[in-house]
Amino acid sequence: MIREILIFFHLDITKNLKYDRLTYQIMKKILKKGDNCIDVGCHKGTMLNLMLKYSPEGRHYAFEPIPYLFKELETHYKNKAEIFPYALSDSDGETTFQLVKNAPAYSGIKRRHYDIPNPEIEEIKVEMRTLDGIIPLSEKINFVKIDVEGGEYGVIKGAKNLLKKNKPVVLFECGIGGSDYYGTNPLYLFNFISNEIGLKIYTLEAYIKGKSPMSATEFEKYFNTNEEYYFVAS
């Protein structure tokens, strides 16, 4: 509740609060009643709630591999959204998954840098899938949110056909401290999104204000400095 109040009054006391506020603005601006959305890294359902709010007549897909969070989501969103217990990447199979027990939002397929003291990590096994293998190409997708603590390039590669066909708005996190632990090269990611999928990349503020998309050099700088680490592809 405190977080929602801070966002409502534009009190950006942290960068993550600012990104949450801008994400809310973007979703409110672009989503229509019948739009179909995908939430990758659904966690507790904050963004899924907004998808349901702004696109109440759409079909919504959410992915959360942490077992207890998946069960909570499955119960809470029954008949409202399709909930899957998969970690998403660019291949299918079983994978180890690093559950950060005292900060589950940091959890992901690989260990990474954690901005907390003494992270309590339990390695579990989860099923890994691709979006292209789950969402039928006949399904129109309008919006995708990806927050997977560094594994976003794999998610995007595994959704190439879906993204190329639909050209949805994609909101994703990416930067040093997470993505580099997955071997992500920012120029490869930029070129994949630009050339293979056909989308332009913006900072959240630039997208909201209708400014020009960024260049590969700008994206690489943001990636390496974490000056910006949330982006919009559209």
Q: Tens of pLDDT along 148-162?
A: 999 999 999 999 999
Dist CA 163 CA 143 (whole Å): 10
Q: Is residue 106 part of a domain?
A: no
pLDDT at residue 101 tops 90:
yes
Is residue 105 in some structural domain?
no
**Average pLDDT value for residue range 21-49:** 96
Q: What is the CATH number of the domain that holds 178?
A: 3.40.50.150
Task: Assess if residue 226 is contained within a domain.
Answer: yes
Domain enclosing residue 65, as ranges: 2-88+134-233
Q: What is the pLDDT of residue 18?
A: 85
Domains in the chain, number:
1
**Rounded distance between C-alpha atoms, residue 166 and residue 139, angstroms:** 9
| CB-based contact 23:47 (threshold 8 Å) | yes
pTM: 0.92
Q: Is the dihedral of CA 84, 89, 94, 99 positive or negative?
A: negative
Using 50, 70 and 90 to split pLDDT, how confident is the model at 13?
very low
| Mean per-residue pLDDT of the chain | 93
Mean pLDDT along residues 210-231: 96
42-94: pLDDT as tens digits: 999 999 999 999 999 999 999 999 999 999 999 999 999 999 999 999 999 99
